[in-house]
A and B are shown apart, each in its own frame.
Chain A
Amino acid sequence: MTKKLLEDTLGGFTSSDSSIVVVGSLARQEFTSGSDVDWTLLLDGISHPEHLKVAQEIRKSLKDLDIRQPGREGVFGTIASGHDLIHHIGGQDDTNANTTLRILLLLESDTIGHPDAYERVLRNVLWRYLDEDRGLWLGSGEYKVPRFLFNDVARYWRTMTVDFAYKQRNRQNEGFAIRNLKLRMSRKLLFLAGMVACFECHCGFASKEERQEFYSLKQVQAVIERLRLVLMKPPLEILASALLRNPNLDLQSKQLFDSYDEFLGMLADDTPSCGGQTIREHLDKLPVERLGSDETASRGRDISHRYRDAIGAIFLSDKNELGRMTIEYGVF
């Protein structure tokens, strides 16, 4: 499926006040035949009663294209308001769904049709994180990392891991193997990309003086643009861009990307190999009791371990700046 097909089919449902935002594998540019399209009609403007009808028509159009999409009651596949994403960061009104949509909007999103509403909301969400981060502007610490944003990205990563356990119980282990593999690989990638994007607020300056000058003016919009240019890229590219500046980490980087590539290869493999099922289908239906003895699950686990080790070697080492920043910000 191409983005062009979606543009041709759905573009007319959008306007300068409403964007169709897609997240997940399509936005990460990792879409495979078994992937579904997680979409939201993001509204940023005057509210119209027709908006729900528009969302229903989007759902119908995707169904006609025979594209898998989210359930009716989930976070996606419906309308969302930019106001909630901008104003409810933290606090009682920042629901799981709101946090999910906000962080995915930042870290792995793309638009179909008019991007205006999406662009406005994205920038205003960043504005919230940056303008209110006194430490970023006034802190005397060595690093210029937006801690408010970083904490929300880290919180979302932990939310995903907790939700994994919640779903495990709620779904009685159904789909455990595939969800576990995705948690270890693509969900972790999302956190890494968010973390690296925050670190990019510190890196990439020619000198310490240039960085100091940049932040001394408290020009929030300059940092918004800096972050937006990073976040425009899919998560793998965000990571690759940062690692390319560290040639001393080439070996570990290669291991990281090789393992991720292998993971994507598994999901994209359409050949019926496991008892007439694709790998994705097989892992989706694999009973949890057979996890330890199943060859495909073992392969997935092995890939995730190599990925984990590479990440550890890069981000938990005090011998490179990315690692030092991770140690500084990652836990405490």
Chain B
Amino acid sequence: MRKIGFSTGAVAYGDFEKALSILALSNLACIELSALRMSEVKILVAAIPHLRLESYSYVSFHAPSSYSAGDEAWLADLLYSNVPETWPIVVHPDAISDATLWKRFGRRVAIENMDRRKPIGRNVRELELVFEKLPDASLCFDLGHSRQCDSSMTDAFLMLTAFQERLVQVHLSEVNSESQHEALSYGAKLAFQQVASLIPDELPIILESRVNFEHIAGEVEIAREALFKIHADIHCYA
């Protein structure tokens, strides 16, 4: 049984408290605390000691996706000192200006593969350049981003194969042509099933689908179907 949860940012835009109260009703195994914008990070970090997260077997933290180079050292220090060591911190590679600030995090930093808008981190070659600078970093694999870049799922296959050892969690959602995260479609489900066998059962799955409370359970169910491992029908007929 896969461990599936939600990103707070997907459930309630910019309002982690509201998201937590909504998700508390859903009995999910995982959660990602999202501070995608710099304006959210300080408040969320300050709230960490008081958050009710006992019901979750896996918690991760999503760092802001964009900040000025001048804020980077401050942000890295803030996260290093205040985010529990057991929580992976998801970081967008294009947001990193000074990799040395993030190197000390080791595996705690989970680099996320990017969507088509970004100039780096979209495929094996581009991620290799990031991991050269952050050799101990882990990988948060975003299936939606990968499908948006290559709908044949070849890039997804290559990344999952090349960085199997680095995998720490998966982001799951539909990513549309404007790079917005949406609820999973039937097409996305079929596409994701093609590489599901490369995603270990124990890997936490974080949904980024923007759905209302009443659709959370349904979206989790579709996510389970999307990650159902299809095995080739190994019997010869010819």
Contact = CB atoms under 8 A, between A and B. Distances in A.
A138 B154 contact: no
B60 to A, nearest CB: 27
Interface of A is mostly: helix
Given A127-B152, A225-B154, A116 B116 contact: yes
Interface stretch (B25-33, B131-139, B218-226, B229-237): B229-237
Given A140-B238, A141-B238, A221 B116 contact: no
Contacts of B236: 138-140
A126 interface: yes
B194 interface: yes
B158 interface: yes
B154 A221 contact: yes
A217 B197 contact: yes
B232 A225 contact: no
Contacts of B99: none
A224 B195 CA distance: 13
Contacts of A61: none
A221 B238 contact: no
B237 A222 contact: no
A69 interface: no
Contacts of A140: 236-238
Interface of B is mostly: loop
A140 B235 CA distance: 9
Given A216-B232, A217-B197, A219-B157, A123 B238 contact: no
A303 B127 CA distance: 49
Nearest to A222: B157
A138 B237 contact: yes
Interface string A119-144: 11001101100000011011111000
A45 interface: yes
B197 A126 contact: no
Nearest to A137: B232
Contacts of A16: 116
B177 A139 contact: no
A138 B238 contact: yes
Interface in A219-270: 219-222, 224-225, 228
Nearest to B160: A221
Contacts of B238: 135, 138-141
B164 interface: no
A45 B152 contact: no
Contacts of B233: 137-138, 218
Given A16-B116, A140-B236, A217-B232, A123 B152 contact: yes
Contact of B195 (A46, A119, A124, A221): A221
A140 B177 CA distance: 41
A46 B154 contact: no
Contact of A221 (B157, B234, B235): B157
Contacts of A222: 157
Interface of A: 16, 45-46, 116, 119-120, 123-124, 126-127, 134-135, 137-141, 216-222, 224-225, 228
17 contacts: A46-B177, A116-B149, A123-B150, A123-B154, A127-B152, A138-B237, A140-B236, A140-B237, A217-B232, A218-B232, A218-B233, A219-B197, A221-B153, A221-B194, A225-B154, A225-B157, A225-B158
Given A217-B197, A219-B197, A221-B153, 17 more contacts: A45-B177, A46-B177, A116-B116, A120-B150, A123-B154, A126-B152, A127-B154, A137-B232, A137-B233, A138-B234, A138-B235, A139-B237, A140-B237, A140-B238, A218-B230, A218-B232, A228-B154
The 4 closest A-B pairs by CB, nearest first: A218-B232, A221-B157, A140-B236, A123-B152
